[in-house]
């Protein structure tokens, strides 16, 4: 059974860096493009980007200048850092795995973490 | 970037009703379209992918159709557990993008 679990601070001060980690259990960590998606309260979902186990990333251009992704294959973990946060970055952050039939990172998602609410305070 | 326009934004319906939600892409996405159901406080759950393929375990009352730039999700006979918010997602090109959502409420 594949499980994803986000972890990290729930409160970040404006202008600082948001950091989250997703730990994956079950399945093959090296077979997928691991993805971050966020959802501001009451709004739709926004794709942040993905990372492959080799470190290859593709990021949303709207966030690319502030986003860093990394991967730790020894721990089956991947991480997100978002710098210079503002109130607009307050959201539930999800990590997700693409559907198994889909190769690459441009895919629908079948496994999601439970979501981590990150609030940016002034 | 690909824009996804979903309609309606909200919908009131009764148990047993047939409902249809529509998603329009700004360009042809060649069936690279999925539908999700999201309940409050939960992660989205994929229902349909490749425009019309039902994800394993999803009830057959859900169906997807469409091509080119216009896609639909139909629920043939609403059940109480279907009242939720639904999103479409295109994965034809990065950045991947989602519709604005349709909140399905009990009439």
Q: Which residue has the higher pLDDT, B106 or A120?
A: A120
Least Cα separation, residue A98 to chain B (angstroms)? 11
- Predicted pLDDT at A103: 83
Mean pLDDT computed over B79-105 = 97
Q: Is residue A102 very low, low, confident or very high in pLDDT (cuts 50, 70, 90)?
A: confident
Two tokens at A105? 């990172």
Least Cα separation, residue A40 to chain B (angstroms)? 12
- Is the model's pLDDT at B64 over the cut of 90? yes
- Predicted pLDDT at B86: 98
Q: Which residue has the higher pLDDT, A49 or A104?
A: A49
CA distance A33 to A51: 5
CB pairs under 8 A between A and B: 53
With b meaning 16 or more CB within 10 Å and e meaning fewer, what string describes A89-117?
A: bbbbbbbbbbbeebeebbbbbbbbbebbe
Cβ pair B94:A106 closer than 8 A:
yes
Angle at A117 between CA A39 and CA B102, to 5 degrees: 30
Across-strand partners of A82? A18, A67
- Using a pLDDT cut of 70, give the percent of chain A over it: 100
Q: Which residue has the higher pLDDT, B38 or A1?
A: B38
Name chain A contacts of B103, Cβ cutoff 8 Å: none
- Is the model's pLDDT at A101 over the cut of 90? no
Mutation target for B interface from A108, A111, A114, A117: give the one with most B CBs within 10 A. Answer: A108
- Predicted pLDDT at B100: 98
* B7, A105, A25, A77 alpha-carbon torsion, rounded to 10°: -110
Mean predicted lDDT score pLDDT of chain A: 96
CA distance B94 to B83: 30
- For residue A15, CA distances in Å to A8, A90, B37 come to 17, 12, 34
pLDDT in tens, B74-91: 999 999 999 999 999 999
Mean predicted lDDT score pLDDT of chain B: 97
- Predicted pLDDT at A86: 98
- Is the model's pLDDT at A75 over the cut of 90? yes
pLDDT in tens, A22-70: 999 998 999 999 999 999 999 999 999 999 999 999 999 999 999 999 9
Cis amide leading into B8 (omega within 30): yes
CA distance A92 to A36: 11
Considering only CB atoms, A108 lies closest to which of B1, B42, B49, namely: B49
pLDDT in tens, B30-54: 999 999 999 999 999 999 999 999 9
Two tokens at A88? 């607009």
């Amino acid at each position: 059974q594949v499980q994803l679990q986000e972890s990290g601070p729930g409160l970040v001060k404006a202008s600082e860096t948001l950091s989250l980690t997703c730990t994956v259990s079950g399945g093959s960590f090296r077979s997928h493009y691991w993805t971050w998606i966020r959802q501001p309260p009451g709004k739709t979902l926004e794709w942040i980007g993905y990372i492959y186990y080799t470190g290859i990333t593709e990021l949303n251009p709207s966030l690319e200048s502030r986003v860093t992704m990394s991967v730790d294959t020894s721990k089956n973990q991947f991480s997100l850092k978002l710098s210079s946060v503002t109130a607009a970055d307050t959201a539930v952050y999800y990590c997700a795995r693409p559907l198994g039939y889909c190769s690459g990172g441009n895919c629908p998602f079948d496994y999601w973490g439970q979501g981590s609410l990150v609030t940016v305070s002034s | 970037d690909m824009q996804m326009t979903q309609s309606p934004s909200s919908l009131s319906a009764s148990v047993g009703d047939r409902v249809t939600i529509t998603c329009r892409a700004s360009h042809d996405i060649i069936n690279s379209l999925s539908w999700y159901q999201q309940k409050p406080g939960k992660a989205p759950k994929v229902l349909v992918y490749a425009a019309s393929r039902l994800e394993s375990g999803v009830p057959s009352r859900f169906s997807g159709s469409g091509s080119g730039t216009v896609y639909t999700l139909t629920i043939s006979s609403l059940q109480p557990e279907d009242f939720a918010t639904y999103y479409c997602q295109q994965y034809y090109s990065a950045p991947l993008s989602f519709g604005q959502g349709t909140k399905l409420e009990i009439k």
